[in-house]
Structure 1
Amino acid sequence: MKKYFSLFYSILFFIPLSYTQSDFIEPDYIKTIIFKPTATNNYAPIIKLGEKLILSFDDLNADEHDYTYKIEHCTIDWKVSNISEFEFTQGYAEDRIRDYENSFNTLQPYTNYRLTIPNSTTKILISGNYILSVLNEDEEVVFKRRFVVYQPKVTVGVAVYKSREISTINTKQSVEFIINYPTYRINNPGKEIYPVVLQNNNWHTAITGLKPQFYRGSQLLYKYNKETSFWGGNEFLFFDSKVIRSSTLNIANVELGEDLYNTYLYTNEERAPLPYTLFPDVNGNFIIRTLNGSNSYTDADYSWVFFSLKSSKNFEGKDIYISGNFNNWQLNNTNKLHYNTESGLYEATLLLKQGFYNYQYVTKNKNGEINYHEIDGSHYQTENDYTVLVYYKKFGSRYTQVIGVGFGNSEKINN
C-alpha cells in the first residue's frame, strides 16, 4: 500500500521569483510581433528541444532595414546566465535576419520580417529560458521576446478546480498538478525542482516558489489551493477585422480616414456586476488574417481601431489599459485609455493589423498594482489555459534545465 509523506515544513517555504513587467519600450514603427511555434493553434513560445519557433514583425518605415537577432540563455528568473553561447548553441547565437518582404497593395506600407529558430546557422543545444533580441544596424535593441525550450524527461498531470475558499469559490480557479519521474533520477526534489504555473501564458501573473507537498513513489504532488489559485477572469472581448472595409461582429462602423481606415468598435460596458456568459475566445491571443489577399504577412493592411469603455465606476487614481498577447501583455501609454468628458467614455486608439484579436481591460493604481478583473469581472466558469513548467537545477549545476511541461484547461473544471 502506497503511503503519503507530508512535507509539512515545505508548505511554508516558498522562493518567490520576480516576473515584473519590462521597462523596455518598443518603438512605434515596430508592429505586430508574432513569436510562436510553427504548430497550428499554438501561441505560446514554448517548444520541445528540436522544434521550431517563428518570429514575424512589421517595420512601418518600409525601408528594408538590416536587422539581426541575438539569443541569450537565461536563469529561471530571466537574467542572462553565465554560460557561454558555445554551450547552448551550435553555430551562431547572433546573425542577420535575411527573410523580409515589402507589403503589397496596402494603404500602410511596411516591411515584414520573418525568422525561424532553430535554423541552418543557429541550433539550440540545451533546455532552459531564452531571450531573443532584435537589433538594428547600430546594434541597438529594438525589441525582446522570451521563449522556453524543454526536454520531456518528466511528465506533468494538470487539473483545474474551483477554489475551496468560501470567499472566492465563485471567482477563482485553483491548479493542482503531479510531476512523474519514474525513469529520471532527482536526488533532492524539494530543493532542485522549481515549478512555474502560467495562466493563458501571461508571465506577469506567474505563480512560482512552490514546494512539493507530498511524495508518492516517483511522484511529486502539488495539491495546493490558495497558493496556486488564479482569478478566473472573464472570457476575452474580441473583434475581427479580416474584411477591413466592412463592419463585422463587434465592429460598429468602418470609415476611410485621411490615410488609413478607421475601425470603430462597439462601446464596451463594465462586466464585473454581470453574470457569466459563455462565448468562445482564444485566451488573449490574436491571429493575423485578411480576405483581401492570399498572404497575411504582406497583404493584410493596418487600420486605426477605436476602443471605448462605458463605466459607472469612478477610476480616479487608477489607469485603464487594453491588454492582450497582441501587445505582449504590456501596460504603457500606447494602450492606455483616456477619459473623454464630452462622450463620458474612456477611449483609446490603436494601430492594428487586420486579424482576429482578443483583449481585456486592466486597471493599475498609483502603487503599480495591476487588477485584471476589476472591469471585466471574474468567474470560476471562465475557460482558461494553464501551463506548468518544471525547472530543474541539480546541485552543483551551472544552469537550470526545463525537464517537463504540463497543460490544463478549465473548460472541464473540477469541484
Structure 2
Amino acid sequence: MKKHILNLFVLILFPTILLSQVAKELNPPDFIKTITFKSNTTQGQLPVLKLGESLLLEFDALTGDEEDFYYVIEHFNFDWTPSGLVKSEYLRGLDNQRILSYENSFNTYQIYSHYNLAIPNSQTRALLKSGNYMISIYDDYDELMFSRKFMVYESIANVGVKVKRSRDVKVIAEKQSVDMVITTNGLNLNNPLETVKTLVIQNNNLNTAISDLKPQYTLGNELIYRYDTESAFFGGNEYLFFENKDVRAANVGIQYIDLEDIYHNYLYTNISRKNRPYTYNPDINGNFQVTVIDRDNPDVEADYVMIHFSLLHEELKDKNIHIYGNFNYFTIEPLTQMLYNSESKRYEATLLLKQGFYNYKFVAVDKETGELDEGAISGNFWETENNYKVLVYYKDLGARYDRLIGFGEASSVDITN
C-alpha cells in the first residue's frame, strides 16, 4: 500500500519538477564549430528578432561524414522555465525535423560539412508567440548536440535606453549604468511592479545580464528606471582582435604562420592592460565574422586554422586565465584555458577557429569559487564602447506565458554623466 502511495506521489510531483526546471544551453562537442545566428537585423550568437522575421542557424560539423541532424524548438517564460504552452500554440507546422540544407567544404585542408537551418521553412511555417525560445540540435541517435537561446518580440512598447556613467563614486571610473524608459502604445499594463520584467544585456552576453529590475516611477503610460547601482555594468575594455582572411599570409594581429596538417597562425603576444590608460580601439563587442579573401562562398571555402594565443603575465596561483569571446558563446571551458609556460613567462593556448575576423579578451577565473573577473587582465574603463540591449516582458493577470513586448538598444559611445 505504501509503495502505491509513493508511486502516486511521484507521478503527481514529477510534472511539477519538470515545469520548474530552468533551461540551460548545452555547448557542442569538439567536432561542431562556428555556430552562428542570422536574422534580418542581427548577426551573431544572440538573435533578438521581431515576430514574423526569419531566422537562420548555421554550424559546421568537422567529421565530414554528412551526418544527419534534427532540430526541436521550445518556448519558455522570462525565467527560462517551460511556459506550459503546447507546441501548436506557439509553432505552426512541425519541428523535430531533419536539417536538409548542407554543403561540404571545398578546397580546404580541414574537411567539414556546413549546415543551414532557416525558420520558417516548409515544415516549420511560423513562430506564433513572442517570448523566449530554445532551439536544440540532435544527432541521428537522438543525442543532444547543442542548444541555443533566442528571443522573439512584439513592437507593443517603446523602450528608450541611455547609458550613463556610474552614480556610485567608488566605481565611477570603471562602471556604466543603463537608464530605461518604457512607454506603452495603447496597452494598459496591470500592476507593472509584478507583471513587467526586464532583461539588460551587455555585448550579447547572457552570462552577465541583469534581470528583473522593477520600475522606480510611473508617469502616465511611462515606466522609468534610473537606478544608482542595480543597473550598472563594469565597462571592461575594448576587445583585442585578429583577422586571417588570407590564410597564407600574416594579417592583422598575426605575427607569423606555419603549415603542418592545417595552417597555424601565431598571434602577437598580448600584455595586461589593467593598469594602463584607456585607448579607444574600435571592435565588434566580442563578436566574430567569417571572412575569406579571393573566395566566393566563405561558408564552405573558409578553412579552419589553429590559432596560437599568448599573454605576457606573471603566473597567478589562485586563478586560471581563459580566452573569452562570442566565438564560443562566452563559455569558460577546458579548451579556452591557457597554460603557463615558465620558460617564456607567458600564458599560452591554441584554438581551432574558422577563417575570419575575431574579437577576444583574457579573463581570470578564481580556482576555488569559479568567479569570473573580466577586468583582471584587460581592466575596466567607463569610456569603453559597449552595446546594451533591453528586453521587456509582460505577463498579464491570468496569462499563461510571458510576452516579450518591447526591445531597445543603445551604445555607450554616447555615454553621458
TM interval, shorter chain, is over 0.9
* Structure 1 vs Structure 2 CA RMSD: 1.7
How far is the alpha carbon of 1:36 from its aligned partner? 2.9
Aligned partners of 2:138 and 2:145 also within 8 Å: yes
Partner of 1:8: none
**CA displacement at 1:118 relative to structure 2:** 2.0
Q: Cα offset for 1:79?
A: 2.7
Once the two structures are superposed, the pairs formed by residues 358-397 of structure 1 within 5 Å of their partners are: 358-365=359-366, 366-397=368-399
Structure 1 match to 2:283: 281
Q: Which residue of 2 aligns with 1:320?
A: 321
Which residue matches 1:108?
110
Structure 2 CA distance for aligned equivalents of residues 138 and 362 of structure 1:
37
What are the Cα deviations for residues 86-120 of structure 1, in whole angstroms up to 9, with x where unaligned?
A: 11100013211000000000000000001111222
* Native 8 Å contact 1:38 1:54 kept in 2: no
Change (3 A) 1:175 1:19: farther
1: distance between equivalents of 2:244 and 2:318?
A: 34
Query: Equivalent of 2:166, from 160, 163, 166?
Result: 163
Q: Where do 1:302-341 residues align within 5 Å? A: 302-312=304-314, 314-341=315-342
Counterpart amino acid of 2:363? Answer: V
Query: Offset at 1:343?
Result: 1.4
SS class of match (1:375):
helix
Q: 1:195-206 maps to which residues of 2 (within 5 A)?
A: 195-206=198-209
TM-score, length of structure 2 as denominator length: 0.92
2:191 alignment partner in structure 1: 188
Q: CA deviation at 1:43?
A: 6.0
Q: Secondary structure at the match of 2:190?
A: coil
- Residue matched to 2:407: 405
Kindly state the Cα deviation for residue 205 of structure 1 after the two structures are TM-superposed.
Answer: 0.4
1:298 aligned counterpart, secondary structure: helix
Q: Tell me the SS of whatever aligns to 2:65.
A: coil
The verdict on how the C-alpha distance between 1:169 and 1:306 changes in structure 2, with shifts beyond 3 A counting, is same
Secondary structure in 1 matching 2:241: strand
> Offset at 1:364?
1.2
The answer (yes or no) to whether the contact 1:336–1:348 under 8 Å persists in 2 is yes
Q: Which runs of 5+ in 2 are unaligned?
A: 1-19
Give the Cα–Cα distance (whole angstroms) in 2 for the partners of residues 42 and 338 of structure 1. 29
Q: Deviations over 1:23-42 (max 9, x none)?
A: 83421110111123243667
2:274 — aligned with what? 272
Question: How far, CA to CA, are the matches of 2:95 and 2:165 in structure 1?
Answer: 44
In the alignment, is the contact (CA less than 8 A) between 2:163 and 2:410 conserved in 1? yes
Q: How many residues align?
A: 396
Partners of 2:23 and 2:80 within 8 A in 1: no
Cα shift readout 1:354-374 (whole Å, capped 9, x = no counterpart): 000001111111211111111
Q: Which residue of 1 aligns with 2:134?
A: 131
User: Are the equivalent residues in 2 in contact too, given 1:19–1:77 (CA < 8 A)?
Assistant: no
Aligned twin of 2:10: none
TM-score by length of 1: 0.93
Deviation at 1:341, TM superposition (A): 1.6
CA contact (8 A) 2:36 2:44 kept: no
Structure 2 CA distance for partners of 1:19 and 1:70, relative to 1, 3 Å: closer
Alignment pair present for 1:262 and 2:271: no
Quote the residue 1:58 is aligned against: 60
Query: In the alignment, which residue of structure 2 is the partner of 1:179?
Result: 182
Aligned counterpart, 1:154: 157
CA contact (8 A) 2:22 2:79 kept: no
Contact 2:41 2:49 in 1 (8 A): no
Shift of 1:187: 1.2
* Greater per-residue helix proportion: 2
How far apart, CA to CA, are the structure 1 residues paired with 2:23 and 2:56? 23
Question: Could you tell me the percent identity over the aligned residues?
Answer: 45
Q: Amino acid of the residue matched to residue 128 of structure 2?
A: L
Structure 2: distance between partners of 1:171 and 1:137:
49
What is the Cα deviation at residue 336 of structure 1?
0.8
The answer to whether the 8 Å contact 1:156/1:405 transfers is: yes
Q: Residues 208-229 of structure 1: CA distance to partner in whole angstroms, max 9, x if unpaired? A: 1211100111000001120000
**C-alpha contact (below 8 Å) 1:36/1:44 kept by paired residues:** no
Cα distance in structure 1, aligned partners of 2:370 and 2:21:
14
Q: Corresponding residue for 2:256?
A: 253
- What is the alpha-carbon distance in structure 2 between the residues aligned to residue 220 and residue 146 of structure 1? 27
CA distance in 2, matches of 1:211, 1:187: 14
DSSP-derived class of the 1:79 partner: coil
Amino acid aligned to 2:59? F
Tell me the equivalent position of 2:94. Answer: 92
CA displacement 1:316-369 (0-9 Å, x = unmatched): 121111111110110000111111122111111000000000011111112111
- Give deviations 1:62-85, integer Å, cap 9, x for gaps: 111111111011121223332111
Residue by residue, what CA displacement relative to the aligned partner does 1:218-245 show, whole Å, maximum 9, x if unpaired? 0000011200000000000100010111
